[in-house]
Structure 1
Amino acid sequence: MPILARSSGSLPGVINPPPIQPLEVPSLSWTDSQGRTTLLSDWENGWVLQPGTRGLDLPGFDFYTDASPQIDGNAMRGLHAQAREIFLPVVLFGSDRADFVARKRSFLATMNPYLGLGTLTMTEADGSYRTIEAYYVSGVEGDTGQDSSGLRWQSMGITLSCPSPYWLGESVHLDYGAGATGNFFPVLPVVVRDSQVLGATVINNLGDASAFPVWTIHGPATSVVISNDSTGLSFSVTASLGSSDVLVVDARERVQTAVLNGTTNWWPNLAADSDLWSFQPGTNNVSMALVGTDSNTTVQLDYQPRFLTA
């Protein structure tokens, strides 16, 4: 929804209010690690996002090149997307001094970096959204200049640091198994049958970068092999799962775990040549081979596509 400009005198009860300019933007909200959410582009609740937002699109890149004394120019050997910073200029105001102070203190509590990573969410008018994890760096130290604050308002230039440069799209959840009702690729579902399943499916990663899956396998099964045939990588579970067992294999960066029934480390039960592979951008041909199964065996897949822009 667009934020409409109002004359400076229209701020309720505000003396010497800040300049407020027209700005049409999607909805931006901040959620801290404890689940407290503040809508930053919400006139009715006292927040106005100002022109000057930075860092929402492409991140910076490091390029690794080699030069040869006999060949002009350089050869690019690789590149690396940098962590990004996002700058958000906002104005907070209250109906009176007490309302303003309470609102500011409540918001600044959610910016405490000691709480851990929070989440910035950009929501489009059609309801689609992307998120990025971040923590507060600077901008709300307290500026009492005439053009920066008043008795019932304050202008803030908030800088957030994002350890990962990627915006995350909406989560994708798929179910594979007898009687599964999720979305399947191709049209026919991959069905777990008695004794074994040899199933092939296609995952279309719409993101700009690799996406890392989380696999939830409900037993029974005596062995499991899940492969990305497009890249030639796979991982194998060499120990048996009972009918009540649930194994979660998490391939996400900086996580990479295999946990049985929520408590037991099953990393030693992955084959030595296993690779917790990712979905590459575009089409990925995936196969699942489970042995010793019955009609209760299911495989669940969850992942979030990653994007370079909001």
Structure 2
Amino acid sequence: MRRLTFENARGESIVFYLSPLVIESLSGIGEVGADLQSQRSPNQDGDTYIDTRLQPRFIDLEGSITVTDFERIREYRRTISRVCNPKLGMGIITLELDGDIKQIGATLDSGVTFFERRRNPFQPFLITWKCPNPYWQSIDQITEPLAAFVPKFTFPFSFPVKFGERGSEVTLYNDGDVPCPIEIEFNGPATQPIITNRTTGEFIRVDRELFEGDKLIINTAYGRDRMVVIDRGNGVIKNAWHYIDIWDSTLFFLDVGVNTIDYNALASGGQAVVNISYRKQYVGI
């Protein structure tokens, strides 16, 4: 089975699958261009490999409107053009292929091309999407909560009494193809909370005190998604880059495989929970 759904920035969606909007061919869902980065020293034969960067992904869908009534053909042409409007910016492609489902952010590279029908009873068309982030993502977002203070006191008890301990940790497993960004939601009250990836040694430390009702959100993705904002509980979102210890902190990704994540704070209340959310990323589908 091969079904593609595109949802634009206005929330309008269209499905290409079976009649009346049939997929004839679909390219770009697996293959993606790559830039090999290398350097050459004087008198060196060949060069030295440094890194590989994937280019934006381009997905081409060739399809047909499988109705023959002129009025219905015009209606479907209008619907496709309205939903797949390049002026609307980024949308989301959801692809179901042989039991696998993935998503990717995409925008129209141009307007929809409707070819001349000539003797063809159906209306052929071509849609090209550009995906600035070339990675497919898992449909489900995984969210794990952590607390800065873990209660330990239970009945019956024995001396010495242990009411709790600072910090908690969780093991996150990324079985995607590449490291994936995370979104961290710090909830106050907490003083200088810190998230550490013990697997890589990287950490993000907040250099401020978060009060009760405060919500600090950090997204480590590249580009426009990368942000640090704070909500004081009144619905007003403000930039909060100055809350982070930018000299030592790293807006890290989850590495491929096992990641042990630790949360701690100098002081915190019972509501000082942090939520870590992420979607796994894949090179192809």
TM-score under structure 1 normalisation? 0.79
Are the aligned partners of 2:147 and 2:168 in contact in 1 as well (CA < 8 Å)? no
- Structure 1 235/283 Cα, relative in aligned 2: closer, same or farther at 3 Å? same
Structure 1 residue 35 and structure 2 residue 11: aligned?
yes
Paired with 2:90 and 2:185, the residues of 1 have a C-alpha distance of: 25
The root-mean-square deviation of aligned C-alpha atoms, in Å, is 2.4
In the alignment, what sits opposite 2:179?
210
1:138: Cα distance to partner? Answer: 4.2
In the alignment, what sits opposite 1:291?
266
Structure 1 residue 87 and structure 2 residue 60: aligned?
yes
Residue 199 (structure 2) aligned to one of 230, 235, 247: 230
In the alignment, what sits opposite 1:129?
101
In the alignment, what sits opposite 2:69?
96
Residue 173 (structure 1) aligned to one of 143, 156, 159: 143
The percentage of counterpart residues that share the same residue type is: 23
Are the aligned partners of 1:211 and 1:278 in contact in 2 as well (CA < 8 Å)? yes
Instruction: Return 87-96 or 161-170, whichever deviates more.
Output: 87-96
In the alignment, what sits opposite 1:185?
none
Structure 1 residue 198 and structure 2 residue 167: aligned?
yes
Structure 1 residue 74 and structure 2 residue 50: aligned?
no
Paired with 1:245 and 1:265, the residues of 2 have a C-alpha distance of: 13
Structure 1 residue 303 and structure 2 residue 281: aligned?
no
Paired with 1:247 and 1:234, the residues of 2 have a C-alpha distance of: 16
In the alignment, what sits opposite 2:21?
47
In the alignment, what sits opposite 1:187?
none
1:202: Cα distance to partner? Answer: 1.6
Q: Which has the larger share of strand?
A: 2
Paired with 1:123 and 1:301, the residues of 2 have a C-alpha distance of: 27
Are the aligned partners of 2:191 and 2:209 in contact in 1 as well (CA < 8 Å)? yes
1:232: Cα distance to partner? Answer: 1.9
Secondary structure at the counterpart of residue 213 of structure 2: coil
Structure 1 residue 239 and structure 2 residue 208: aligned?
yes
Paired with 1:53 and 1:143, the residues of 2 have a C-alpha distance of: 17
1:272: Cα distance to partner? Answer: 2.9
Unaligned stretches of 5+ in structure 1? Answer: 1-24, 179-189
Q: Which runs of structure 1 show a deviation greater than 4 angstroms over 4 or more consecutive aligned residues?
A: 68-72, 192-196
Paired with 1:26 and 1:161, the residues of 2 have a C-alpha distance of: 20
Are the aligned partners of 1:196 and 1:291 in contact in 2 as well (CA < 8 Å)? no
Q: Per-residue CA shift, 1:94-113, capped at 9, x if unaligned?
A: 36322221122012111111
Secondary structure at the counterpart of residue 53 of structure 1: strand
Amino acid aligned to 2:205: S
Paired with 2:212 and 2:97, the residues of 1 have a C-alpha distance of: 43
Q: Between Structure 1 and Structure 2, how many residues are aligned? A: 268
- Structure 1 30/68 Cα, relative in aligned 2: closer, same or farther at 3 Å? same
Structure 1 residue 279 and structure 2 residue 254: aligned?
yes
Paired with 2:110 and 2:86, the residues of 1 have a C-alpha distance of: 10
Paired with 1:76 and 1:65, the residues of 2 have a C-alpha distance of: 4
Amino acid aligned to 1:204: Y
Instruction: Return 291-300 or 95-104, whichever deviates more.
Output: 95-104
Paired with 2:164 and 2:192, the residues of 1 have a C-alpha distance of: 11
- Structure 1 154/66 Cα, relative in aligned 2: closer, same or farther at 3 Å? same
Residue 112 (structure 1) aligned to one of 74, 85, 107: 85
Secondary structure at the counterpart of residue 216 of structure 1: strand
Paired with 1:134 and 1:256, the residues of 2 have a C-alpha distance of: 18
Are the aligned partners of 2:34 and 2:53 in contact in 1 as well (CA < 8 Å)? yes
Secondary structure at the counterpart of residue 78 of structure 2: helix
Paired with 1:197 and 1:54, the residues of 2 have a C-alpha distance of: 52
Unaligned stretches of 5+ in structure 2? Answer: 153-162
